[in-house]
Structure formats: C-alpha cells, structure tokens
Amino acid sequence: MKVVIIAGGSGTRLWPISTPEYPKHLLKVNGDSLSLMQRTYERAKQLTDKIYVVTDSSHIHHVKDQLPELTEDSFIVEPARRGTASCILATLAKIEKDSDSDEPIAFLAADHYIRDVQGFAHSFRIAGNTSKSTGRIVLVGIEPDYPATGFGYIQKGDLLSEENYIFNVHSFKEKPDYNTALEYLRSANYLWNSGYFVGSVNTFKNAMQNDAPDLYSNYERLFNASAEAYKDTYLSLENISIDYALIEKVKDLLVVPASFDWMDLGSFSDLHKASTKDHAGNNTEGLVETEEVSNTMIQNLEDKPLAVIGLDNVIVINSPNGILVARKDLAQKVGDISKRFKKKEDE
C-alpha cells in the first residue's frame, strides 16, 4: 500500500491561530509535541514506508520542515489551491509515472485528530486488501456518535463481507438538519463521510472513465503536460472537491466502518472537545488567569497577560495574527469572519 497525505486547507476555521500560510494541519493541539500532520505521518508509517504529501506552494516550506524524513520526491506541490479533485489527479499522475499502478493508495487528510493508531491501521489494511481484491474504490466511514449536522453521510447498502464488515455504498447524503441527522443516528445505517478512500491508480482511472469522463480528460491533460506547460494546465483545472467530481458519481463503491476514534477539528468547539480540561471544563494555554470561568477555551500566544472573568461556554484566543472572542456554539462562524478580514487585507 501507498499513502498520500493531503495537507491543504485555507486556514480559516481556526483563525487566528491558523492562517492560509500556516493552516490547521501544522498546529500542535492538546499539548502534543507533534502537529496534526506529523501525527498523520506517524499513523501512515504503520501502513507503509511509501508515503507522499500533497500540499500547495504557500506553506510547502513548513510542511518540509515538519517532515524531514521524507525525500524531495515525496512532495507533490500544487501551484495554487484547486480543490481536492485536482490535487488527487496530480498525485495519481505522479504515481503512475513513478511506480506500480495496481498498488492500493490510501488518501488521508493531514488535519484529523485520531488517538487509536492500531484501530486506524486495522481499518485501512482491510480497505486496502478489499480494494486490491475487488478492483473497487473503498471508503472508510466513521460510526456517528451524535446527530452531527456538519458532516455528509454515507448510507450503507448490502453487506459484502461478514468477516471484515464491508458494505456496498447505497447513497450519499448532504449535510442534514438536526432531525434528519437524529434519524440517521438511530437507524445505525449511516456513517459520517470522513473523506477517506483507498484505490489504485488503475482503479481510479477506471472509475473516472466509467463515471466521470470529464475528470478523466483532465487527468490525461495533466499526465501528458510537459514540465513547461504543467503549471498552466493545473491552474486551468476546475476548483472542485473529489467527492463531487468523482466519488459521489461512482456506482460500485464499498465502505468499511472505521474501528477508531475520529475528530475533524473543524471549529474551536471541536478543538475544545479534544483538549484536556480542568474541573471547570476549561482549557488554558499561556499566561492566563481566570475567575468564575467555565466550559471555556483560552489560548494566549503572546507574552502579555490575559485575564478572563465571569464567562461560560466561550472561546478566547490572543495571537499575533489577531484576537478572537466567541461563544462556543457559534464557533463555526469563525471561518466567515476570517474570510472577511482577508478580503479587507486584499482591497
């Protein structure tokens, strides 16, 4: 098996500690000595020593600094962000030129928070072996433990293998409202779509030819582009996710329910949930003093002192990039605020 770590992202949802030049996967969370991307790399090493990282030019130097074990040939650099469909086409093209096109490839996001490394490796070994034996793309879905409205869902179809608990994919569901998500949870027939998938170059090429011919045409253009024409060819590709461009169009997908814990860390609320907390439910970092504060995350990334008094259920971030004070249940709006600041900077 090969592993490709997708280390992209615009750095908006955890602003101001995350920025386009230093996005979420480069951050260390919960007092860890390693960043989210470095932890992903450590998990990938449980599967293989053939590891690639695809990222964009804005922060490739940070990525290389954090992964000094990898050779220069292991990095695939996007000239600019063009969505996950484009970066996966670039990766498949490189692997087809360099090595075996029938070996399964596991695509992993660099910024997920997972503690159960052995469970992770077990699930992906099943997915890799299944993809190799069937010639089909295999997803790894997450067993939901609450009615999440921020994730897409995979509806399980018929059971393909009782031994390894592999299902056909019946359908995909967009991010639901709360009542629909509650129905999905109660039915035990749905998985969160984590964006994990496994398949060889040839498996992906066959899927594109059969179910996404326009994407396959783009793949051929990118594969055949000369070194001089590569950048312009890449920048001409549509900015679209691989889910919309391919995965949700493929008619014979399989899915393995994950046997490991998983968090997307898509907001400060998620980050607080994953963090170590004191008896009052607070997580603090830096030079911080509190009084009558509960269920709150406070990060002070500057040398000046920060005091928080009489607050509950909030996020307080003081960083060189900016200051954020937000109610925790509205933390998903941080990305929109960050984009508005970015727009003002560009004016």
In this predicted structure, what is the pLDDT of residue 305?
97
In this predicted structure, what is the pLDDT of residue 311?
97
Rounded distance between C-alpha atoms, residue 219 and residue 216, angstroms: 5
In this predicted structure, what is the pLDDT of residue 124?
97
Cβ neighbours of 347 (radius 10 Å):
5
CB 152 within 8 A of CB 247: no
Over residues 137-190, the pLDDT tens digits come to: 999 999 999 999 989 999 999 999 788 889 999 999 999 999 999 999 999 999
In this predicted structure, what is the pLDDT of residue 163?
81
In this predicted structure, what is the pLDDT of residue 58?
86
DSSP bridge pairs for 299: 285, 317
Cβ neighbours of 235 (radius 10 Å):
13
Place of tokens 């996950």: 84
In this predicted structure, what is the pLDDT of residue 244?
94
Over residues 295-306, the pLDDT tens digits come to: 999 999 999 999
The residues, ordered by sequence, that sit 6+ positions from 78 with a Cβ below 8 Å of its Cβ are 8, 54, 55, 56, 57, 86, 87, 90, 234
What average pLDDT values come out for the chain (347 residues) when binned by 10 residues?
91 89 90 94 97 93 96 93 92 93 96 96 97 97 93 95 89 95 96 96 97 97 94 93 95 96 92 93 96 97 96 97 95 91 79
Ordered structural domains, the chain, with CATH = 2-257 (3.90.550.10), 268-346 (no CATH)
In this predicted structure, what is the pLDDT of residue 346?
75
In this predicted structure, what is the pLDDT of residue 308?
97
